Amino acid sequence: VFTTQWSQWWAYSGISGPEFWGNINPEWYICNRGKHQSPISIDPSQLLFDPNLKPFKIDKHKHITGHLINNGRFLTIAIDVSTIANYINISGGPLAYYYRASNILIYFSKEVDQHGSEHRITGMNFSAEIQILGYNSELYDNATYSMNASNGNVGIALLLSVTDTPNHNLSPIIDALDNVMFKGRPLNVTIRMPLGALIPPTMDYMTYEGSFTHPNCFETVTWIIPNKPLYIGKEQFKAFQKLYDGEPGNVRLPLYNNARPTTPLNNRPIRTNIRLKSEVRRRMRVG
């Protein structure tokens, strides 16, 4: 029996690019028709201050254990959630439940400050974006059950800015990139750093209701964007350029420039706990 591997069809450019995702697979129709899609470009002048927003919390002391994988579209770390010791909880802020981190996705551009990040601030791109995704562990057993469920998922979008100084918190990932140069090469790697080390040192953030940024584009993600970039060293950033989207002998393109274009806000509120809206732009620029 012939079965279509829809998961192999979509891409970030050409006839399988973002504008066609909803046509490739009928189950992905929301990618084209949805009104609460992600990513978005955040205009600080449109932010709504919410005095009831508390700081969000993450188990900063826990270390990541999981598989580092080049899936041919982006780099991902599938966090091992099979044992309680590996549970990394996310709560507070705009969240009414506890969420468990399950995946880390990494998007990046070819050049500094090009289209590397998916989310933007006043239309400005960052060089890369790391997304920490978690599922509602109070209501659902795993990320598969939560994917298309109400209050099912959280995404923490970390916008990366390139600097001359290396970020040693990222070194375990950078040092492992040679093992995932090509598609489909998983590496069982223990990242010797707390997941919280990826969170910029700020209590300020922006939040909105959106979707996964790749098919199936389900609109079940509460996004949190800290109001400060995460820094990555210039040489560290260059290390991502050696990743490719194909298997050895069947390489088509480098993996960079793998971000979905921004989608319409469609009157969705973007809430923040920042009192001075001008602080968003200032902090994102000067850190």
- Which domains does the chain possess? 34-286 (3.10.200.10)
> Could you tell me which residues come within 8 angstroms of residue 178 by beta carbon, excluding any fewer than 6 positions away?
242
140 part of the active site = yes
Catalytic one of 135, 140, 231, 244: 140
pLDDT at 286: 46
Average pLDDT over residues 82-111: 94
Q: pLDDT by residue (tens digit) across 118-141?
A: 999 998 999 999 999 999 999 999
Average pLDDT over residues 72-92: 92
Average pLDDT over residues 69-81: 92
Instruction: Give me the half-sphere count of Cα atoms (radius 13 Å) on the Cβ side of residue 35.
Output: 4
- DSSP count for the chain of H helices, then E strands: 6, 15
**Average per-residue pLDDT for the chain:** 90
Q: pLDDT by residue (tens digit) across 178-210?
A: 999 999 866 666 667 778 888 999 999 999 999
- What the block records as the tokens of 4 is 């279509």
Average pLDDT over residues 35-55: 96
Residue 207 vs residue 7, higher pLDDT: 207
- By the 10 Å C-beta count (0-12 exposed, 13-18 middle, 19+ buried), 20 is classed as middle
Lowest-confidence pick of 24-33, 79-88, 167-176, 266-275: 79-88
Instruction: Give me the half-sphere count of Cα atoms (radius 13 Å) on the Cβ side of residue 259.
Output: 30
pLDDT at 205: 97
Query: What pTM value is reported for the model?
Result: 0.92
Angle at 62 (CA atoms; ends 57, 63), nearest 5 degrees: 130
> Rounded to an integer, what distance in angstroms lies between the CA atom of residue 206 and that of residue 111?
26
* Type and span of the H or E element at 100: strand 99-108
> Rounded to an integer, what distance in angstroms lies between the CA atom of residue 170 and that of residue 108?
14
Residues listed for the chain = 287
